Amino acid sequence: MTKRLKKTLKESVNPQQLEAVNSIKGPVAVFAGAGSGKTRVITYRIAHLIDKGIPLGNILAVTFTNKAANEMKERIGSLLDLDTKELWIGTFHSICLRILRRSGKEIGIRQDFAVFDNEDSLSLIKDCMKESNIDIKRVNPRSVSKAISDSKVALVSSDEYSKIAGNGYFIDIVSNVYSLYEKRMRENNALDFDDLIYKTVLLFQQKHEILDKYQELFKHILVDEYQDVNAVQYELLRLMASKHKNIFVVGDDDQSIYAFRGADPSYMLRFQKEYKGSKVIKLEENYRCSKMILSAANCIVQNNENREQKKLWTKNEDGAKVKLVVCSNEKDEAQKVVQLIQDQVKNKSRSLNDFVVLYRINAASRNFEEALVSETIPYQLVGGFKFYQRKEVKDFISYLRVVINPDERVSINRIINYPKRNIGAVFVKKIEQVAYEEKCSFYKACNVLLEKKETVARGRKGLKEFIDIIETARNTLENGTLFDVAKLIYEKSNIVQSLENEFPEYLAKEKIANLGELLTAINRFEGGYDRKEPILQAYLSDVTLYTDLDQMNKKEEKVTLMTIHSVKGLEFPIVFMAGMEEGLFPHYLSNSKKDALEEERRLCYVGFTRAKTELYLSYAMNRELYGKTNKTTSSRFLDEISEDLIETLRISLVGDGKSGLRKQISSVNRSKKDFSKGIKVEIEDLTKGKIVCHKVWGHGLVMELNEIDGEYIVKIDFDTVGERMLNYKYAPLRILEDSEDSEKEIDTD
């Protein structure tokens, strides 16, 4: 090891991390708890391998995000002062795409195949259902799409599906659509996201000489987030690592949260059985969270039974207790969270980038968006509408896709009559008829139809315009730059004029600006391009694999809103976890299944451990969801947190939210404990200024007592929810015998 790297390692890693870095022979599993430096370990291990003389091209590192892959490359390049271009570092999808571009022809996959995103795939599935006379109003195309996706993850082909899945109305539909879908995908010269990994596994299974080639190429395999691999990913890794067995996996079974994608944490747990003689290393020192936050997270996850025993610890400061915010409804919750953010920015000089608001389901974002907008606070919604999914952007990208792959019918359908060219459904049917008669592609049939004299004049004119744009762009691509092609489409397609005619001025400007940003992105991509594959092919591949996390912008000050599933791998100084209610978190669908409930608990643990210094938990006593308002109860996860780690924060909304924040930490924070110690409240106890304890809302100050129609109605100002009017006959109230507690004063200013 060179002196420079040795010195850097000594200064940068702890003993357990160093052991992981130095264990470069044979299978190794690293159980890396949240914030324990797993990315650092992988980065330094790769640097160590290179330093030991392993060629860059013989190292494969698989990550779960493009962001992580790019950061890893940059850090390795900086450590060793070298160009990391030859390193194979990327996501499963990007690695497999490269393999299929190089070797897919061995199983009949053309090198110039298109990659369908989820929207393209769903569109084709709908077409297949209509072609099969299946009513898409009765059978949800998304359900069919998921069934096909799940089959590919489980390595089940369209031919095998009906034999394995059994019988039934829905199964028969999926079986028929799956077969037709695969046929249409071949005709489109396209693969979907699942195909990228699935077809690579098929390539290795069917062509042993190809597998042997990549086994020799990837002598050292490193895998990040191994707890989240699914069946097809596991098989891919197993095949590639089976020869040299130099496989190094890093993960944390406590953070396995993608069961809906087929992720199976048991692969991590049984690594030692799968790979005989493997070494297991545990990283349990957390460098991210305060002691309070980490202890609360440990309280949650230790209730799971199916896990590798470990307990994270940290040298960080104790920090503040976890704050609990009880709210009357979902709007109250959003407003209180926003006021807390405003208070931190005003009084503690926090940046908006320091805050993230997490929620269990996407539908919960709306109230937070409205509250932030009302206070003119900028925010970014991760998991919302991606830039490359905006219609005007996707339309433009479709032109580029047809330029490189004219057989790709989904994109042709999207743009052949956009902007309007008088190519209606009847004319499209004529093209399809020609394609059938001539046994050629749809695009070639367009050219054949142009040569026919009887072709309707209006349709001919529009079709000629479309073909001219595509052919001119194809010629430009051969002789010019990618930006030249994009600029030509921008000018010749009339998309800009169409947007100006179709939308109000303010909206048209926004959409045209998006196209301008797209041209800028293309120009920037071309400026830094240094790969061997054709540039347009490479650009479209990158665009298709673009993820929510890639669009996060840390340069502009914005509050971040995202689901807890999306926040994996990120960290923020201050985290708000909203909707901590039974039925929402844990989700009601997990209540009857132990494995599902354990995954919900892991999801909660992931949310907690994103916080560096402060963690706020909130729940609403009433929540409107899907058009219906229900009374709620607090999440069982709140009860699993040790009482000395959490405190209830009383918040009163003030004015317009900009004039300040009245808040108070209750002196006794866990109402259940106090309630069980207290004695039943008698009418004579309910005097003004008396402290009482409610079973759910905790401590409150008696404001007044009135008799109305023979019923005693008491007005109490609670620490957690403010003033409430309660019927004495039914209210779960107790009074503490401890005079010290009873005499505590609550500020009601």
DSSP 172-216: HHHHHHHHHHHHHHHHTTEEEHHHHHHHHHHHHHH-HHHHHHHHH
Q: How far apart are CA 195 and CA 598, in angstroms?
A: 30
Catalytic residue among 8, 39, 111, 481: 39
Residue-by-residue DSSP string for 339-390: HHHHHHHHHH---GGGEEEEESSGGGHHHHHHHHHHTT--EEETTS--GGGS
Say whether 250 sits in a helix, a strand or coil: strand
Q: Which two tokens stand for residue 517?
A: 């940003």
Catalytic residue among 401, 610, 650, 670: 610
**Coil, strand, or helix at residue 143?**
helix
Please indicate whether residue 225 is annotated as part of the active site. yes
One of 120, 127, 194, 225 is an active-site residue; which one? 225
284 is catalytic: no
Question: Order of strands across the sheet with 379-381?
Answer: 379-381, 559-563, 355-359, 572-577, 611-620, 322-327, 646-652, 662-665
Confirm whether 408 is a catalytic residue: no
d(CA 113, CA 129): 23
Would you give the DSSP letter of residue 81?
T
Task: List Cβ neighbours of 723 (8 Å cut-off, separation of 6 or more).
Answer: 703, 715, 716, 717
Active-site pick, 17, 38, 233, 612: 38
> Does 83 participate in catalysis according to the annotation?
no
Please return the burial class of 263, using the count of CB atoms within 10 Å of its CB with bins 0-12, 13-18 and 19+.
buried
Question: Is 192 marked active-site?
Answer: no
Q: 120, 127, 224, 332: which is the annotated catalytic residue?
A: 224
Catalytic residue among 65, 200, 233, 255: 255
Contact predicate 24/48, CB 8 Å: yes
Catalytic, 709? Answer no
> The tokens of 383 are what?
């998991």
Asked whether the beta carbons of 212 and 156 are under 8 A apart, the reply is no
> Residues in the chain, how many?
749
DSSP 485-510: HHHHHHHHS-HHHHHHHHS-HHHHHH
Q: How far apart are CA 550 and CA 552, in angstroms?
A: 6
| Backbone torsion region of residue 404, taken as left when φ is above 0, otherwise alpha when ψ lies between -120 and 50, otherwise beta | alpha
User: Which residues have a catalytic role annotated?
Assistant: 38-39, 224-225, 255, 610
